[in-house]
Chains A and B, each alone.
Chain A
């Protein structure tokens, strides 16, 4: 496995002079680290920016991060609770599970302003979908996700997640590890991008596809915009912002122009031989022109077989859109992109936010089920699943009690996330919620435990990535979920 590109290493090394001698490809960012260096942080505090090498031997090299905006019901997906059906219509106080509402157990919620969504939902709402056992592991998956069900022996399901923001700010929290009222912090993808070098000189290393409704469009924050995800659309005509000339300008004209820009910039290097910014600028133009050519190729599926396209459901109206995003994700992973963040569920609070008409989520599941299952299968048969972590996440679960006649409210005390590949165990369930899916009770995990698990598989130690002046808390680092690591 190729961990690190030579040029990238040169670019990120702490010596600015070697930066220049390595004036080549892959130096996409010269932001924070160089600034800190310039400011003398490096010498004063013996701090140096990441080298781009993993801190220890990695198990995985890429992450495909699938995030369901709005909050998927854990009970209707991967954490069946027959007790809900048994006691459906009763208030929680009338059931044997009354102690789940003990105020002490509810203390971790950080609701600053109570609103319609922050109320307790007391009347248990029966399960709205059937479950069946799948695979050799016999893990139960709801009938909303039959395709993922057939892949259950490849999944590591964590049924004991918790978070603290009971509104959709939890989307931010799932990515940064912090409640939105604490301020803004780099997201997991930014840390990965910051910590690890490039595997490909022609593509951005951190890609975001789909709407990010409730959270800022930045990822890097104090790590600098060089570590923001590059927003990408699966549209060969317009995959990246400013990817195509907005006025008539042929590829040939651009080629001549690119050569001239390179030549003129290089000439200035004579007067400014130590100017690392000039070197980085030259490299960034080269990368940009290559990206401009490469990205459309990646999302051009003409070389994919009909069988593969059918597997993802590319031509099916109900899931074709998401299928194309996931097929693109596989193609990006094949080309060495580190972190591909795909959001499903559109703008607003997110489509999965089923305050009413929970059953409509069946339609959302239809959009993602086949493509996700296909992605896992496709990665596996290509031998890529072992080095690619696929993550299925959402900001929180839904209340066991009903909201209105047919909905479930936000629920932070217990929910489910699953991962596949990347050196994790296959076909395991870890952790558990109580019998009505209210609290995570067994092997409880805060969202940063997912981050820690991923970083560990990628060979990164988050503590070694700390930046001077930006002290991180213990909870920011989280703990790897060792029980699901193979």
Chain B
């Protein structure tokens, strides 16, 4: 006996011998059902369909005491109304299966016929259709010519006829398709089948004649989606609360207030506002003196001046640079051990470019253009080339497809608010983006590679160099991958670069960009040869000095020996050691002499090679084909080859001499290894010498003094580098075309996405919550007119970000208090503050927490830029946190506790509150040290020779310093009590410089919620 799931308490299927029966309780429906079965049995077509489509493992079903509910419920709708029927027939398994299927269909229909309760189309049907069907049968797409976004459309149907026939659920194609047992037949084509209760509701609704509102509107045309419409500056509304309006922003906010009957919260206290501005604009808290400079009673004049001052402060670039580093996915390099696998070494040059550009108020559109295509737009401007670190950061050693896909995904999400990544495998389900559009976007990036460009004064690219991109593989085709599988490229068509049709407001006009010689022959940059020459000269000078030192050492040792020998009473016990020193010094001098020789010849080699390179350029640049130049090239090249060979010999000589020296001085147990190395070095020397004596032919080449080096990938094999990618004389122009399209003022997305990011960071909440998805699946803006006004303002101000910052932070909306006190009416109407009637508090970002601690302690090191502070130096470093080495694999523990930016995707920082943060703040040495330093400082007399502050005075000053607010009497009382309790603890270590209890009070304030909060 098999019992069919909990949904069918009244129904059992029995098997006796080979007779199957469905047993259910009898009712008035008996005749009706029996008749339907007769009809069904007679309908051969229906039966064939049922037999073909059957997907129910009957054997499995009957062999289990209790079939798995999930499985049965997928097929069976609830049959609560069915009472008792008995039907028997003798059959083969196939027959049983067929029969069973028919029964199911009947159960389905009888349910809908008998259900008494009516179904609400808008609540029960339409949301299901929207969720599961609209992607293919709605405004975006009309597969099979069918739309289901209105009941009328469904009745009209598509290529296969009506999808629903009112009153006839069984006959409705929609029902047949959603209940089909054959997966190929069943809709929706992806994901789980509709739930039984959803199917039941659908059937009931159809049975009840499929009622729908007469004025039911079809889904909006995707082209009319708010984010795809051109940005038109809205008119600033007139509002009743005009005294509150300081900037047009306030008018838009006030309009919403007034529409909802909300009152804006009062302005925050002046000291809170000052702290807010400091933390927001420069990422550091104000000092007590800085707060006091802005008088409590002063009007907007001082406030505005402060805003200007902070926006002009170089620390502003560090603060907002870090925000953009989140969005643009800044990451130092990572790999396995020393092997570079992701991002680029020295990528900090890009970070410095971001910070400098923000401080210089470079327009946003220019920043985007440079990040995407500085190599095409300013191929000779090393400063601007740093911007392409944005793309160089996506470099991956092995996974070319991941590199390309991440680039497409994050250019789309970060700059355009488009989830193009959804179209990697199939057409986008919500936005008008076809699968091929993903690959068209990829084609913009297909040719690009990464390289390191030499910086002045450092010829060693392992030590420094600018990571940047260039188009290296100009003809590499882009193919669409079937279902996004990289193993299944559709090679029938090479995809050309392009943008989704809906956003194609202009022709892209992709033109190849011829590059100046210095771009693709970077060794021609004026400083490159000079860098090699200077370095070689410096090495020579160092070698000379070392040689002199070695000579002196030998002379001293020799003199010692001489004196020892000459002495009337020679101390024989010393003799052996002095003799050893002499011998060692002699070998040392020997090695130093070889080093000097090597350095001298190396300089010569560099000089000759530089000369040969200049001769080669002279010949190449000469259009007249003068014979002299060709001769000069050939002869200087031969000289350079010889010089380089001689340098190799000298270097090998030095290597041998150095090993001899080490061998002489090393302990016995190391000698064997050094001996082996020495043998190898001698062999190398012999080889170098032989090469040096071989005649130079015209086929011989010298090693060019490189101005840049391609970063080799391993996309073909993990064991060796891919074939060298040369620097072509031309770039495809694809990326500059893309950059022009993204920053075109007609692009409806770019400015909206940018202002949304800026707004979110000032106000604690974005206008469009889905900051990287402005598509139809995203959440619409809370203040659409404000968003568009800000976007228009950004564009028309020349993409001036400081202008936008100023507009926002001087608004009344920005200055509201975050308190809810006295706002009970608002709380009822808009508890979640969607209409911005108060400020939202913001938890400080990880970097700001650490920087603030150091800043308040007075120990923050404000030096700017340069290589990232390595992991092992971070504990002792006092630099601002944005300079810390930060990659996917390595991140600072303290910072990561406070939601450090995830390097792979960070469009919004989390603001989590977890106990690990409490542990970090209460236990880290950083905070304890800062607490001591602050307590020491605040315990000093305020005036020279004045009295030391008493406890109450100290408490007040500590609150002002750490939290930026005045302590109220209750806070003073509690703090004083704690001071007293701390002082009573026996055995607390004495501290001469500062009262331990006071230090602990400062520590407690660092652990106050309002320390890590922008109120």
Is the pair B401, A259 in contact by a Cβ cutoff of 8 Å?
Answer: no
- Segment of A266-274, A305-313, A419-427, A432-440 engaged in the interface with chain B: A266-274
Is the pair B779, A39 in contact by a Cβ cutoff of 8 Å?
Answer: yes
Is the pair A184, B904 in contact by a Cβ cutoff of 8 Å?
Answer: yes
Residues of B close to A240: CB separation below 8 A: 916, 919
A270 and B970 CA atoms in complex are apart in Å by 12
A257-B832 CB under 8 A given contacts A39-B779, A272-B819:
no
Q: A52 at interface (Cβ–Cβ under 8 A)?
A: no
Residues of B close to A291: CB separation below 8 A: 915, 919
CB closest chain-B residue, reference A287: B915
Residues of B close to A244: CB separation below 8 A: 923
Residues of B close to A241: CB separation below 8 A: 893, 897, 916, 919-920
Residues of A close to B911: CB separation below 8 A: 30-31, 35, 277
Is the pair B769, A242 in contact by a Cβ cutoff of 8 Å?
Answer: no
Q: B718 at interface (Cβ–Cβ under 8 A)?
A: yes
Is the pair A260, B978 in contact by a Cβ cutoff of 8 Å?
Answer: yes
A29-B913 CB under 8 A given contacts A257-B922, A257-B1007:
yes
B717-734, CB < 8 A from A: 717-719
A115 and B843 CA atoms in complex are apart in Å by 46
Residues of A close to B715: CB separation below 8 A: 113
Q: B116 at interface (Cβ–Cβ under 8 A)?
A: no
* Residue of B888, B918, B985 with highest tally of chain A CB at under 10 A: B918
Is the pair A113, B978 in contact by a Cβ cutoff of 8 Å?
Answer: no
Is the pair B914, A181 in contact by a Cβ cutoff of 8 Å?
Answer: no
A225-B192 CB under 8 A given contacts A257-B922, A274-B820, A288-B922:
no
A245 and B919 CA atoms in complex are apart in Å by 9
A112 and B924 CA atoms in complex are apart in Å by 43
The interface residues of chain B, by DSSP majority, are classed as loop
Is the pair A482, B68 in contact by a Cβ cutoff of 8 Å?
Answer: yes
A335-367, CB < 8 A from B: none
A450 CB to nearest chain B CB (Å): 18
Q: B1004 at interface (Cβ–Cβ under 8 A)?
A: yes
Q: B549 at interface (Cβ–Cβ under 8 A)?
A: no
Interface string of A29-50 (1 = CB under 8 A from B): 1111001011111001000000
Is the pair A277, B916 in contact by a Cβ cutoff of 8 Å?
Answer: no
Residues of B close to A252: CB separation below 8 A: 985
A375 and B908 CA atoms in complex are apart in Å by 42
A474 CB to nearest chain B CB (Å): 7
Is the pair A250, B985 in contact by a Cβ cutoff of 8 Å?
Answer: yes
Q: From the candidates A40, A221, A281, A285, name the one contacting B834 in the complex (CB within 8 A).
A: A40
* Residue of A29, A37, A250, A261 with highest tally of chain B CB at under 10 A: A261
Is the pair B1010, A181 in contact by a Cβ cutoff of 8 Å?
Answer: no
Is the pair A277, B843 in contact by a Cβ cutoff of 8 Å?
Answer: yes
Q: From the candidates A110, A116, A250, name the one contacting B718 in the complex (CB within 8 A).
A: A116
A30 and B821 CA atoms in complex are apart in Å by 22
Residues of A close to B192: CB separation below 8 A: 463, 474
Tally of chain A residues near chain B (CB < 8 A):
77
A27 and B773 CA atoms in complex are apart in Å by 30
Q: A254 at interface (Cβ–Cβ under 8 A)?
A: yes
Q: B14 at interface (Cβ–Cβ under 8 A)?
A: no
Is the pair A30, B915 in contact by a Cβ cutoff of 8 Å?
Answer: no
Is the pair A224, B910 in contact by a Cβ cutoff of 8 Å?
Answer: yes
Is the pair B821, A16 in contact by a Cβ cutoff of 8 Å?
Answer: no
A469 and B779 CA atoms in complex are apart in Å by 10
Is the pair B918, A246 in contact by a Cβ cutoff of 8 Å?
Answer: no
Residues of A close to B769: CB separation below 8 A: 38-41
Q: From the candidates A114, A272, A284, name the one contacting B914 in the complex (CB within 8 A).
A: A284
CB closest chain-A residue, reference B888: A216
A281-B718 CB under 8 A given contacts A31-B912, A256-B985:
no
Q: B482 at interface (Cβ–Cβ under 8 A)?
A: no
Q: B460 at interface (Cβ–Cβ under 8 A)?
A: no
B876-902, CB < 8 A from A: 888, 893, 897, 899, 902
Q: From the candidates B904, B908, B978, name the one contacting A256 in the complex (CB within 8 A).
A: B978
Q: From the candidates A29, A273, A463, name the one contacting B821 in the complex (CB within 8 A).
A: A273
A265-297, CB < 8 A from B: 265, 267-268, 270-275, 277-278, 280-282, 284-285, 287-289, 291-292
A166-209, CB < 8 A from B: 181, 183-184, 204
Q: B825 at interface (Cβ–Cβ under 8 A)?
A: no
Q: B675 at interface (Cβ–Cβ under 8 A)?
A: no
Is the pair B399, A277 in contact by a Cβ cutoff of 8 Å?
Answer: no
Residues of A close to B928: CB separation below 8 A: 245-247, 249
A57 CB to nearest chain B CB (Å): 13
Q: From the candidates A221, A257, A292, name the one contacting B1000 in the complex (CB within 8 A).
A: A257
A16 and B834 CA atoms in complex are apart in Å by 14
Is the pair A288, B987 in contact by a Cβ cutoff of 8 Å?
Answer: no
Q: A467 at interface (Cβ–Cβ under 8 A)?
A: no
Residues of A close to B908: CB separation below 8 A: 35
Is the pair B820, A272 in contact by a Cβ cutoff of 8 Å?
Answer: yes
A31-B910 CB under 8 A given contacts A253-B1000, A264-B974:
yes
Residues of A close to B988: CB separation below 8 A: 250, 253
CB closest chain-A residue, reference B399: A112
Q: B765 at interface (Cβ–Cβ under 8 A)?
A: yes
Is the pair A265, B820 in contact by a Cβ cutoff of 8 Å?
Answer: no
A189 CB to nearest chain B CB (Å): 15
A469-B989 CB under 8 A given contacts A40-B782, A257-B978:
no
Is the pair B974, A113 in contact by a Cβ cutoff of 8 Å?
Answer: no
Residues of A close to B777: CB separation below 8 A: 469
B226 CB to nearest chain A CB (Å): 15
* Residue of B779, B841, B910, B970 with highest tally of chain A CB at under 10 A: B910
Q: A218 at interface (Cβ–Cβ under 8 A)?
A: yes
A264 and B888 CA atoms in complex are apart in Å by 37
Q: B191 at interface (Cβ–Cβ under 8 A)?
A: yes
CB closest chain-A residue, reference B1013: A277
CB closest chain-B residue, reference A251: B985
Q: B917 at interface (Cβ–Cβ under 8 A)?
A: yes
CB closest chain-B residue, reference A256: B981
Q: B320 at interface (Cβ–Cβ under 8 A)?
A: no
Residues of B close to A277: CB separation below 8 A: 841, 843, 911, 913, 1009, 1013
* Residue of B192, B840, B922 with highest tally of chain A CB at under 10 A: B922
A173 and B717 CA atoms in complex are apart in Å by 23
Residues of A close to B989: CB separation below 8 A: 248
A271-B819 CB under 8 A given contacts A113-B715, A474-B192:
yes
Is the pair A38, B399 in contact by a Cβ cutoff of 8 Å?
Answer: no
Is the pair A112, B920 in contact by a Cβ cutoff of 8 Å?
Answer: no
Interface string of B973-1015 (1 = CB under 8 A from A): 0110010011001011100000000001101110111101100
Q: A428 at interface (Cβ–Cβ under 8 A)?
A: no
Residues of A close to B1010: CB separation below 8 A: 268
Q: B831 at interface (Cβ–Cβ under 8 A)?
A: yes
A40-B832 CB under 8 A given contacts A184-B904, A261-B1008, A463-B192:
yes
Q: B39 at interface (Cβ–Cβ under 8 A)?
A: no
Residues of A close to B985: CB separation below 8 A: 250, 252-253, 256
Interface string of A110-146 (1 = CB under 8 A from B): 1011111000000000000000000000000000000
A282 and B770 CA atoms in complex are apart in Å by 29
A247 and B1000 CA atoms in complex are apart in Å by 12
B497-544, CB < 8 A from A: none
8 A-B contact pairs sorted by A residue (CB < 8 Å): A181-B401, A224-B910, A241-B893, A247-B929, A254-B922, A263-B974, A274-B827, A288-B918
* Interface pairs A-B: 8 shortest CB-CB: A39-B769, A115-B718, A288-B918, A288-B915, A246-B925, A247-B928, A31-B912, A242-B919
Binding site for B on A (CB under 8 A): 16-17, 28-32, 35, 37-41, 44, 110, 112-116, 181, 183-184, 204, 216, 218, 221, 224-226, 230, 240-250, 252-254, 256-257, 259-261, 263-265, 267-268, 270-275, 277-278, 280-282, 284-285, 287-289, 291-292, 463, 469, 474, 482
18 A-B pairs besides A225-B914, A242-B897, A257-B1000 with CB distance below 8 A are: A16-B832, A28-B915, A29-B914, A35-B910, A39-B770, A39-B779, A40-B769, A113-B717, A260-B1001, A261-B1007, A275-B820, A278-B1009, A278-B1013, A281-B1009, A284-B915, A284-B918, A469-B777, A482-B68
